[in-house]
Amino acid sequence: MPTHGRRPRRSSRRQWPGAVFVAPHMLMLALFMLVPTVYAVYTSLFTSRLIGGNRFSGLANYVTVMHSTVFWSGVGRVLLFAVIQVPVTIALAFAFAAIFDAGIVPFSRFFRTIFFMPFAVPGVVASVMWSFLLLPGFGPYAEFAKALGLGNVNFFSSGLILPTIILIVIWEWTGYNMTILFTSLKSIPREVTEAAIMEGASLWTIIVRIKLPMVIPSIVTLVFLNAVGALQLFTEPSILAAFQPQAISFGFTPSLFVYNTAVGSGQYNLGAAAAIVLAVIIGLVSVGAFALTRRRGEAK
């Protein structure tokens, strides 16, 4: 009489190598993401006192964050930042990727490398570099604006600081997004474009009507990643604050609010609560952006 009890054992034995390879990654995920998150939630439920140590306060810190106009002003600012920066970055990245994919630019490999190089520059270094380039009365771009008759343009003023940060981040991330989209365009079978050429389609038609819809999944992924990065904006404003502190407020971005509250003011419990609220906002916005972009891609 045949027995079937040994097959699950063989199957479980085959799964052991995969589990061994996955285990280190899961351990790192638990140590550096799960444990800090749980500890942050735990810390946010207490209030530190000079005498008597921490005191359980429940959701009091969350109530304080939810009623903080400084925090929500920073949230609105990064949302505006994301609405401008993400579409412009993706559009420029696709435009350059399509140009390089079309083969109309000589030495395209060299220029692709040049476009990717800003991504390899650390955000701190890029922010310092752009700070000197845009510094009023000293930077070449400020002098160029003056030569055009625009006067003494202060790129770090309260009215121009956000566009300045948008410019820096676009410069940093366009090359990376372009590389991803260029790879996606190159993965499109040649037969598709050759058939379109035989039908008399122009280069513009091939790019917009054929290639663009085929790389929508890559664009959706990039929109998701760029949106998450935009909502976590921290490095650029924190560096620019050293040059023009009056333009970068305490809570210019939610991440700055968390840092200045926890480290600058020593209110670790309130900072932990703000970090949790920010994480929830990022999760909700990211899911919404991902769903909206995917829906539009499927509609096309």
Compute CA 79 distance to the chain's CA centroid, rounded to the nearest angstrom: 12
- String of DSSP letters for the chain: ----SHHHHHHHHHHHHHHHHHHHHHHHHIIIIIHHHHHHHHHHTEEEETTTEEEE-TTHHHHHHHT-HHHHHHHHHHHHHHHHHHHHHHHHHHHHHHHHHHT-STTHHHHHHHHHHHHHS-HHHHHHHHHHHH-TTTSHHHHHHHHTT--S--TTSTTTHHHHHHHHHHHHHHHHHHHHHHHHHHTS-HHHHHHHHHTT--HHHIIIIIIHHHTHHHHHHHHHHHHHHHHT--HHHHHHTTT-TTTS-TTSSHHHHHHIIIIIS--HHHHHHHHHHHHHHHHHHHHHHHHHHHHHHHH-
Determine the pLDDT at residue 15. 64
So where are the chain's domains? 17-56, 69-299
Q: Which fold has domain 69-299?
A: MetI-like fold (1.10.3720)
- Residue 195: other Cβ atoms inside 10 A: 12
Walk along the chain (300 residues) and give the pLDDT tens digit of each residue.
Answer: 455 555 555 555 666 776 777 778 778 877 778 888 888 889 889 887 766 677 888 899 999 999 999 999 999 999 999 999 999 999 999 999 999 998 888 888 898 999 899 999 988 999 999 988 888 777 888 888 888 877 788 888 888 899 999 999 999 999 999 999 999 999 988 888 888 888 888 888 888 888 999 999 899 889 888 988 999 999 999 998 887 787 788 889 999 999 999 988 888 899 999 999 999 998 888 787 777 766 655 655
Would you put residue 277 in left (φ > 0), alpha (ψ -120 to 50) or beta?
Answer: alpha
Determine the pLDDT at residue 13. 60
The label of the residue with tokens 């920010």 reads: 278
Q: Which of 105, 78, 96, 116 is nearest to 251 (CA)?
A: 78
Determine the pLDDT at residue 33. 80
Side chain identity at 89, as an amino acid letter?
T
Do residues 272 and 40 make contact, with C-beta atoms less than 8 angstroms apart?
yes
Determine the pLDDT at residue 47. 87
Determine the pLDDT at residue 3. 52
